Amino acid sequence: MTRIFIAGFQHETNTFAPSKADWAAFNRGSSYPAFARGDAMVDLIAPGSLPLAGFITTARERGWTLLPSVWAGATPSAQVTEDAFERIAGPLLEDLRAAAGTIDGIFLDLHGAAVAEHLDDAEGELLERIRGVVGPQLPIVATLDLHANVSERMLRQANAFAVYRTYPHIDMHECARRAAETLAQLLAPDAPTLHTRSQRLPFLLPLNTQCTLLEPAAGLMRLLPALEAEHGVQLEFAMGFPAADIADCGPVVFGHGSDAQAVQRGVRALADAVSARRADFALQLLGPREAVREALQRAEAAIAPVVIADTQDNPGAGGDSNTTGMLHALLAERSGQRHPGRIALGLLVDPEAAAAAHAAGAGARLTLSLGRSVAGYDGRPTDDPLTREVIVRALSDGTIALHGPMTAGNTVRLGPCARIEVDGVQVLLSSAKCQLLDLDLCRFLGIEPAEMALIVVKSSVHFRAAFAPIAASILVAKAPGPMAADPADLPWTKLPPSTARRP
């Protein structure tokens, strides 16, 4: 009977963001499932779309026995606090010591871009502690997010990784299945030694242009399996999360295989292919009012909504989803008067405004202060809060079952939520952070996205999985916020001088 120890730790750290991930963030259960341990972890995770859910399904198909330890995930933010990291690592290592000698392998659902207050390489530290308990022989395999900042320490401590190959991340289950296949190979009686080789690329890739629905990322991901077949190895491309001020920030190509020279050739071929497309990753963005004007012009002739991404306040990249730059732009362009009731923005995190809307009730008119002015990535304050008379159009407790391409099976719990109308613009208020990446995150407040003229989403790329099929066109706006769309704008201190801030 094959016994596999499983655990998960997911955090994408923007070291320039305004809010840290404390222990409460991992227990909140808003856009990520709340901290869980033991069998409760399996019950919580198995129905959803995370890699751990995919691995659980695959392991059961193989007849493996699972020893669940801990699940911990929190919405992207600034550093994980030391207290939170140790509260996660402590129980995991305790469970591992108790299981030592009785398990055949380990699977970990990791992000790969976590930074703690006391650890620049949080996953490397966790893997090293795990390896210290189980010794050098036990197979350790993990999944990583496409945005992982992969360190040499991580590659030394684990036998193999599988990296998502889509952004939006719609292949998390498939990624876990690939990881399970690798683990099965390592568990075979005649398992060959698995060699790992890697190559770090000396430039940063903007988050928006990492989208695998668009070129050049789409073409590179199509090339990847062809190179794997040509060289007979497993290849991975982690594009990096370009807002972590650590030495290991940036894209890495790596591979695994029984023939070390073949792995090296495959890694070099993929790295050369990425480098050849480097200039194609260059970023083009619109200012807030420019984006709104262009969207309104396109909406006049469109029979489907025009979507604008408010990328620099993306809560999936460390923003708090509470800045008002795009809302000011919408109102300045008088968009609500041109398409009354058919312009929407969300999710704007403002628990006080949401609570006031609930207290007033549906249909009420009241004056609200909306949003926050926060420190942007450059230290300058973002746009001022907006104070206006609003109409409360819909209310919700914020518990939402999701059905989108990336999120099917997940449930988010956002606390009191409300839809308010501000001068003809529908604003979706939330009490907790969640990237607007699913159509259900509009529908729960009475907005049918396909019937809108213009939708502003606080997201960078993930929204495309659900919104691209219904959108007439998509624009990306650069309103002030905590997540720099262009990595060159960030005040780096630890990035090696050899790493270019732009592709």
What number is the average pLDDT over the span 217-237?
98
Residue-wise pLDDT for 85-115, tens only, equals 999 999 999 999 999 999 999 999 999 999 9
Structure tokens belonging to residue 144: 């990583």
Predicted local distance difference test score (pLDDT) of residue 57: 98
| Residue-range definition of the domain harbouring residue 33 | 3-281
Confidence of residue 272 (pLDDT cuts 50, 70, 90): very high
Please confirm whether the linkage preceding 347 is cis (ω < 30° from 0): yes
pLDDT over 80 at 337, yes or no: no
Tell me if 475 is assigned to some domain.
yes
pLDDT over 80 at 335, yes or no: no
Tell me if 497 is assigned to some domain.
no
What number is the average pLDDT over the span 447-475?
98
SS (H, E, C) 253-306: EEEEECCHHHHHHHHHHHHHHHHHCHHHHCCCCECHHHHHHHHHHHHHHCCCCE
Predicted local distance difference test score (pLDDT) of residue 192: 87
Tell me if 496 is assigned to some domain.
no
Predicted local distance difference test score (pLDDT) of residue 398: 98
Rounded to the nearest 5 percent, the helix, strand and coil shares of the chain are 35, 25, 40
Enumerate helices (H) and strands (E) in the chain, giving the number of each.
15, 19
Confidence of residue 378 (pLDDT cuts 50, 70, 90): confident
- Quote the CA–CA distance of 100 and 64 in Å, as a whole number: 17
Q: Of 281, 307, 330, which closes a domain?
A: 281
- Quote the CA–CA distance of 126 and 93 in Å, as a whole number: 9
Confidence of residue 302 (pLDDT cuts 50, 70, 90): very high
According to DSSP, the β-strands at 386-396 and 417-422 are antiparallel
167 and 305 within one domain: no
- CA-closest candidate to residue 448, choices 429, 433, 428: 428
What number is the average pLDDT over the span 355-374?
97
Confidence of residue 334 (pLDDT cuts 50, 70, 90): confident
79 and 164 within one domain: yes
Residue-wise pLDDT for 147-171, tens only, equals 999 999 999 999 999 999 999 999 9
Tell me if 180 is assigned to some domain.
yes
433 and 476 within one domain: yes
Q: Is 468 helix (H, G, I), strand (E, B) or coil?
A: helix
473 and 375 within one domain: yes
Confidence of residue 212 (pLDDT cuts 50, 70, 90): very high
CATH code of 78's domain: 3.40.50.2300
322 and 178 within one domain: no
240 and 113 within one domain: yes
What's the total number of domains in the chain?
2
293 and 206 within one domain: no
- Quote the CA–CA distance of 255 and 237 in Å, as a whole number: 9
Q: Are 420 and 386 in contact (CB under 8 A)?
A: no
- CA-closest candidate to residue 121, choices 88, 89, 145, 154: 154
- Quote the CA–CA distance of 46 and 327 in Å, as a whole number: 38
Q: Of 235, 252, 281, which closes a domain?
A: 281
In order of 2, 49, 360, 489, the CA distances from 62 in angstroms are 9, 19, 55, 48
Give Cβ neighbours of residue 493 (< 8 Å, ≥ 6 apart). Answer: 245
Q: Of 262, 281, 300, which closes a domain?
A: 281
Q: What percent of the chain has pLDDT over 90?
A: 95
- Quote the CA–CA distance of 185 and 139 in Å, as a whole number: 10
Confidence of residue 336 (pLDDT cuts 50, 70, 90): low
Residue-wise pLDDT for 43-76, tens only, equals 999 999 999 999 999 999 999 999 999 999 999 9
